[in-house]
């Protein structure tokens, strides 16, 4: 709507209380903005992150991951505590990001380039499971499904002797 009406003075700010959802949403937005040739500022924050260590950890995970990606123009740590307690975690995250950007600028080596996959694509990459070797007591191919989910391959007999099961793994 803003672009259609030639209005460009705005900031993108999306809301999610789950840091994983928040990170994925902002990465998708950044990829789409890049594809469209847009360059609008992003305001980062985990909505109602919580209180105490939990709230600070959720904010650090969400905001920190995106700052490390080079995304974000403004940040806010949203705790369910007194607002003045949000300032210190914000300063800490901003300081870490600023130091990282400075280190990246100081490094004179060529930047690493991803050539194995399209980093803007959020599809699971193809991998090969370990081969079963002769003499292996546990079939490692059965521990993980091709989609990465864990399969239950432990028999009731193996559960009766857990020490042997753990030793064989």
What are the pLDDT digits (tens) for 50-72? 888 888 999 999 999 999 888 99
* Percentages of the chain per state (helix, strand, coil), in multiples of 5: 45, 5, 50
What pLDDT does residue 83 have?
87
pLDDT at 63: 93
- Domain extents in the chain: 12-106, 129-169
- In this prediction, the residues of the chain whose per-residue pLDDT falls under 70 are 104-132, 137-156, 159, 165-169
Query: Can you give the pLDDT at residue 108?
Result: 59
Decide if 29 contacts 12 (C-beta within 8 A). Answer: yes
Specify burial of residue 93 (Cβ count, 10 A radius: 0-12, 13-18, 19+).
buried
């Amino acid at each position: 709507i803003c672009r259609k009406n030639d209005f460009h003075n705005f900031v993108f700010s999306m809301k999610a209380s789950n840091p994983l959802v928040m990170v994925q949403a902002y990465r998708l937005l950044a990829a789409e903005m890049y594809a469209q040739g847009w360059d609008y500022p992003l305001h980062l924050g985990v909505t109602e992150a919580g209180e105490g260590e939990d709230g600070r950890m959720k904010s650090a995970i969400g905001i920190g991951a995106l700052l490390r990606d080079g995304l974000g123009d403004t940040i806010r740590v949203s705790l369910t505590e007194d607002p003045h307690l949000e300032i210190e975690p914000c300063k800490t995250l901003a300081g870490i990001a600023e130091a990282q950007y400075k280190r990246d600028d100081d490094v004179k080596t060529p930047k690493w380039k991803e050539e194995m996959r399209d980093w803007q694509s959020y599809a699971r990459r193809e991998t090969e499971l370990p081969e079963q070797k002769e003499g292996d007591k546990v079939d490692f191919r059965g521990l993980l499904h091709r989609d990465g989910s864990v399969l239950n391959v432990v028999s009731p007999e193996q559960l009766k002797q857990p020490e042997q099961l753990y030793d064989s793994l």
